[in-house]
A and B are shown apart, each in its own frame.
Chain A
Amino acid sequence: MAHGQTASGIVAGRLTADEIATNFSDLHPAHAPHEASVAADRCYFCYDAPCVTACPTEIDIPLFLRQIQSGQPESAARTIFDQNILGGMCARVCPTETLCQEACVRETAEGKPVEIGRLQRYATDALMATGQHPYVRAAPTGKTVVVVGAGPAGLACAHRLAVLGHEVVVHEAKSKSGGLNEFGIAAYKATNDFARLEVEWLLEIGGITIQNNSAFGSDIGLSDLQNQYDAVFFSIGLGGVNSLHAEGVDLNGVHHAVDFIEGVRQSDDLNELPIGRDVVVIGGGMTAVDAAVKAKLLGAQNVTIAYRRGQDAMGASRFEQDLATSRGVRIMSLVQPISVLGEGASDEIELGYTRSENGKLVATGETVRVSADQVFMAIGQTLDGAPPELTIEAGKIAVTGAGRTSMSGIWAGGDCASGGDDLTVTAVAEGRDAAMDIHEILIG
């Protein structure tokens, strides 16, 4: 341990290698078989189950729980994958506390929902451990579909199309596939390189060609795609980031949270990753929580989330907020950044207090300064590089129905498309549904 937690500035080695390893281990470790059986047995097998309604991919949860309980996690996994081919990752990253597990009647009954997320992981892990891909392709249709962006929506779309017998070409701007599964989300939710392994497993279906380092716009244009392929699916995510409009954001030590998170996800050695002693994260969503928790786990001594509205308005769920505070992150609500202060590098941040007046946020005039040798901006991502020919609506590609854009033959889904809620599971649902719609249009 070279520096320890109290050393000022942005430095690596604040914690021992053992501490780092422990901090970044699995947040929700997998169930052991007996544990899974007992946990699954708690399901009441509800009629028209509320958990299914609450799942964006509408996985038949009571059925897969019963399949686990009766000793066949592999069957359970098929039930899951039929609806959600990225069920393994969703089991890890879904905010189940606001989806299936919030709807679970045992949450109503006793405040202890069935552990649907962990059990989904148990099932999907079991099937993936067999080393076999559970689907076979239909007879070739002779059609080829192009998918732009190999994130959750693109992969789900590609897989479903491949199952249906189409050929799929995927253009991915980055060197690795997986999108936010690979570059975003919390490291402690997707340990052991799961994102990469899941993509490899998914591609075993065959018929999908991924071209990495191939960015739409610079490397390929819309007309090329229209000419070459039978249908186009855009799943380019939100590549841009909002910047803070405050003095001092150009100082060293001020970063976009998504870049920090990507750095952590892609790091070969977390012990080498520098982190500030006093870290302030601006924002209130999942990205803000992820960045703050990661900073703390890397050894930052003081980590503060500064959010301009009340805590109950935060985009991150209560579960995520509690996760952050349990790791020692302080959540300051009703403060907004005024300026980042420092000589060349950030030293502290001045925050102004706010209050809500008739639903509008107004500054109270009072301010407070918080030490900050590192500031992460997590105030939202934006659509970047969408084809100008498509209609954009509220900053996203406008879609109707199963992801149909304003142009015939072009579909979109995932975070880049209108109507979603920026969740992995929603992206999967949109990719899958667009694939079914494309199939219907192409085959009739």
Chain B
Amino acid sequence: MADLTSDFLGISSPNPFWLASAPPTDKEYNVRRAFEAGWGGVVWKTLGSEGPPVVNVNGPRYGAIYGADRRLLGLNNIELITDRPLETNLEEIARVKADYPDRAIIVSLMVPCEEQAWKDILPRVSETGADGIELNFGCPHGMSERGMGAAVGQVPEYIEMVTRWCKQYYDKPVIVKLTPNITDVRKPAQAAKNGGADAVSLINTINSITSVNLDLMCPEPTIDGKGSHGGYCGPAVKPIAMNMVAEIARDPETDDLPISGIGGITNWRDAAEFMSLGCGNVQVCTAAMTYGFKIVEEMCSGLSQWMDEKGYDNVSDFVGRAVPNVTDWKYLNLNYIAKAKIDQDECIKCGRCYAVCEDTSHQAISMGEGRVFEVIDEECVACNLCVDVCPVENCISMVEMAAGSIDPRTGKVVQDDYANWTTHPNNPGAVAAE
């Protein structure tokens, strides 16, 4: 039976599923419930400096994007960091950590970009016995207008500077949480590493307007007739998050930097995918905010079963396994040739493949008598659109052409060697093949 125990930066937790810094981890009551439910760790909702806490709006904080049957695909929020006194949070953190020594508690922090502010808060966090800190350089709304959150995360120099202060005044692991609202996520990751960060976590939420109320002509969530952009998260952002994770994992400058993966992780498979791309553990928020804490049971059982099936004993066994297979487009094998194949026994004759191929692609599917849909190999470029729109799983597949056969589309023999764009004759910058 697979061992789900996670060791991230020397912080042990019974499983690699942590709750991300967000409303679910705002206070002792929730965190105790989370630990009772089985979560391996939490990143406590972001603390600010001593003094009057921030205030939140008193109207709707969240907006949603739905799939069929109101399945929540994306959530947007305009909630700020904790609106409770610093002292209250610190006392609670200390109490919970004392009661749950086997669980990870990381404290998320966001204070102004002044050395003194960090110098003040870090010793107090240290006293709680928490296992580490996460620097919130990602929050894209509200706090960023005050020069914090994403406003810091978008300036690599600030990231490096603040990280360095934290390493100087705090002796436990420092995780830097990155914002996706930036052009090249590798730059802030490199800055964090240069500042001495023990790890990065990503992604924080994405700037978003989820919907517009067409009667009020106002973005939602709407506060007294006005709306503000919020931070977008949930299943819809997973592809964006995974790309950013992979970019950092395969960048030579940061490929040894541990990553805590965040972004739409909803079940064990999502977690395994993030981890295969280099994440030592994962953080979850929207899934818990949609279904409650109990989902961690499926995550644990699912990951455990899959690891058993694959023969992985420890979670570290598969971390980063997919990273070597993430490459640049120019290195993709242009000699690899596939054709779509429609399984007529599985086909339910909806004709979606035909409609999309005919209207929007390569006119490579024919519609015959009795609604029989067949691939025209002479036209098929194996784009996969038919597979993607087919409502029947495994009805259409991409079948690789054997080397030596002739591609009816080009009339050329399929080669069994590897050749990519860098050596392609159409590439003006092509280099001679070795």
Contact = CB atoms under 8 A, between A and B. Distances in A.
Interface in B316-374: 348-352, 354-355, 367, 371
A262 interface: no
Contact of B367 (A44, A47, A105, A106): A47
B369 to A, nearest CB: 13
Contacts of A49: 351
B66 to A, nearest CB: 10
A50 to B, nearest CB: 7
A49 B352 CA distance: 10
B351 A47 contact: yes
B69 A50 contact: no
B392 interface: yes
B69 A105 contact: no
Contacts of A108: 348-349
Contact of A47 (B69, B70, B352): B352
Nearest to B356: A47
B68 A47 contact: no
Contacts of B292: none
A46 B70 contact: no
A105 B348 contact: yes
B72 to A, nearest CB: 14
Interface in B369-417: 371, 391-392
Contacts of A41: 68-69
Contact of A44 (B69, B70, B352, B354): B352
A50 B349 contact: yes
A105 B68 contact: no
Nearest to A44: B350
Nearest to B390: A44
A46 B352 CA distance: 6
Contact of B354 (A42, A47, A109): A47
Contact of B355 (A42, A47, A105, A106): A47
Interface residues of A, number: 15
Range of interface residues on chain B?
10 to 19
Interface centre among B350, B351, B392 (most CB of A within 10 A): B350
A109 B348 contact: yes
Nearest to B371: A50
Contacts, number: 35
Contacts of B69: 38, 41
Nearest to B391: A44
A201 interface: no
Contacts of B348: 105-106, 108-109
Contacts of B354: 47
A47 B348 CA distance: 12
Interface in A30-45: 34, 38, 41-42, 44-45
A38 B66 CA distance: 12
A45 B68 contact: no
Contacts of B70: 34
A48 interface: yes
A96 to B, nearest CB: 18
Contacts of B68: 38, 41-42
Interface in A44-74: 44-50
Interface centre among A38, A47, A105, A109 (most CB of B within 10 A): A47
A289 B157 CA distance: 81
A109 B349 CA distance: 9
Contacts of B371: 48, 50
Contacts of A45: 352
A249 to B, nearest CB: 48
Interface in B48-82: 68-70
B391 A109 contact: yes
A109 B350 CA distance: 10
B392 A48 contact: no
Contacts of B351: 46-49
A46 B68 CA distance: 18
Contacts of A47: 350-352, 354-355, 367
A350 to B, nearest CB: 48
Interface centre among A48, A105, A106, A108 (most CB of B within 10 A): A105
Interface string A350-379: 000000000000000000000000000000
Contacts of B392: 109
Contacts of B391: 44, 109
Contacts of A38: 68-69
Nearest to A108: B348
Contacts of A42: 68
A253 B367 CA distance: 58
A358 to B, nearest CB: 32
Contacts of A34: 70
Interface centre among A42, A49, A109 (most CB of B within 10 A): A109
A175 to B, nearest CB: 47
A50 B350 CA distance: 8
A100 to B, nearest CB: 14
A50 B391 CA distance: 16
A44 B350 CA distance: 7
B213 to A, nearest CB: 13
A198 B251 CA distance: 69
Contacts of B349: 46, 50, 105, 108
A45 B68 CA distance: 15
A108 B367 CA distance: 18
A108 B391 CA distance: 12
A41 B371 CA distance: 23
Contacts of B350: 44, 46-47, 105
A330 B68 CA distance: 41
A44 B391 CA distance: 8
A119 B70 CA distance: 18
A185 B351 CA distance: 36
A45 B350 CA distance: 8
Interface centre among A34, A48, A106 (most CB of B within 10 A): A48
Contacts of A109: 348, 391-392
A45 B355 CA distance: 10
B345 to A, nearest CB: 12
Nearest to B66: A37
Contacts of A44: 350, 352, 391
A34 B352 CA distance: 26
A86 B349 CA distance: 30
A42 B349 CA distance: 15
Interface string A220-235: 0000000000000000
A50 B352 CA distance: 12
A202 B43 CA distance: 64
Nearest to A53: B371
A43 to B, nearest CB: 10
A41 B66 CA distance: 12
Given A42-B68, A45-B352, A49-B351, 5 more contacts: A46-B350, A46-B352, A47-B351, A108-B349, A109-B392
9 contacts: A34-B70, A44-B350, A44-B391, A46-B350, A50-B371, A105-B350, A108-B348, A108-B349, A109-B348
Which 9 pairs of residues, A with B, have the shortest CB-CB distance? A47-B351, A47-B355, A109-B348, A105-B348, A46-B350, A105-B350, A41-B68, A44-B350, A108-B348
